Chains A and B, each alone.
Chain A
């Protein structure tokens, strides 16, 4: 897909909660050997997807000095909404002081709800229906105690302010491509606390097939190849998947390195690829092309191509993702269980 009028990213912000828990604590508790990553973030007791979205959006607004009176849409992509019924975006509209003449909705598409929100805002801005909009991907992902997902299900998010290119963008959207199919690798039924997954399903038919299809589709339709890109960011449910999909598509370790935040942060679900894009924008230079490819179970993938502009230098997020990670402090399993509301009282 190509926008009718040129659009791009005006500002970006990310947020990761303060606490992390090491995989070795979890694996020693369950007497297992598997440690898919080093550590994962978890939310404080007073944090949820709404507060994480707020922090990411606030950082995007403050770092880019965006004219918030021009914002006409705010969409939050998440699979861990605090309410089953009651929109998250309305809290953000009043907490951030956005205009009340605004579109707002919560999106759900497992881990790709954040890029879905971006695609929608790109379309609304490109058509001229709104001047600017905010797209957020954020989660406080749930992992059943003892399940494989407990090692990686993390908390965090990122927010993107989107505008027309002539308003001044730090990265221009060149093209995007989306691919979906009915592939039941992971789900959570209504009223359930934790998701279920078919472990054998999550790799080839789900993650790899959908990301390969969206990226190859994009490359074939618009004539790109891996060497065109300074950086690439893939959805990162663990360390193995994004590094393997990058290699299969012909990308080098160097191209994915800045955006690979999963080893310390974990899988932030709807926030995952967007957090990787934020970490990549933290180091990107004008003229760099960046490939972003999300993945959401169920399943689907959005691939997008951005070209970074000179405005990146004055609009980078303060502080960068790397500093947000280095400020994190370790938590034990009991604190994790208490803050994640896993203890009966």
Chain B
């Protein structure tokens, strides 16, 4: 991501807005203009904020700006509408398959000490 694309994609990253194919109903996140399945037009689609962890792993080698704190748990999350998306996890020491999670706004990275702070969606265990 560059500083320009950080800005262009901020809304979909803040609010988990994907796209849905007007022809076949396929859902994509991040959003796309055309469907990768049928080539149909896609329209903005609000994904549900809650879901559960399908698969997870802990990534220990990432670019500096993502990886100041050693390791990042990441997961494939199945959202309440069945959409599966890739996401960063937070506030969790031991992720588990089936763990219920919700999307919240967190800091994703910063451009050094003086640059911008970039925010976006991460998943954390539901508070209740």
Contact = CB atoms under 8 A, between A and B. Distances in A.
Contacts of B69: 45, 338-339
B127 A51 contact: no
Interface residues of A, number: 26
Given A94-B11, A95-B14, A95-B119, A318 B128 contact: yes
A319 B126 CA distance: 10
Contacts of A47: 106-107
Contact of A44 (B15, B90, B117, B119): B90
B127 A323 contact: yes
A94 B10 contact: yes
Interface of B: 10-11, 14-15, 68-69, 90-91, 93, 104-108, 117, 119, 122, 124, 127-128
Contacts of B117: 48, 50, 82-83
21 contacts: A44-B90, A44-B91, A45-B68, A45-B107, A46-B90, A46-B106, A47-B106, A50-B117, A51-B106, A82-B117, A91-B14, A91-B105, A94-B10, A94-B15, A95-B15, A319-B128, A323-B127, A324-B127, A327-B127, A338-B69, A345-B68
A48 B107 contact: yes
Contacts of B108: 46
B119 A91 contact: yes
Interface in A302-345: 318-319, 323-324, 327, 329, 338-339, 345
Interface of A: 18, 44-48, 50-51, 54-55, 58, 82-83, 91, 94-95, 97, 318-319, 323-324, 327, 329, 338-339, 345
Contacts of A318: 128
Nearest to A17: B91
Contacts of B105: 50-51, 54-55, 91, 95
Contacts of B107: 45-48, 51
Nearest to B122: A46
A94 B128 contact: no
Given A54-B104, A319-B128, 14 more contacts: A45-B68, A45-B107, A46-B90, A46-B106, A46-B107, A48-B117, A51-B104, A51-B106, A51-B107, A58-B104, A95-B15, A97-B15, A327-B127, A339-B69
Nearest to A319: B128
Nearest to A19: B91
Nearest to B127: A319
Contacts of A329: 93
Nearest to A54: B105
A150 B28 CA distance: 46
Tell me which of B14, B68, B105, B128 has the highest count of chain A C-beta atoms within 10 A of its own C-beta. B105
A246 B104 CA distance: 37
Nearest to B107: A46
A54 B124 CA distance: 14
A45 B67 CA distance: 11
A51 B91 contact: no
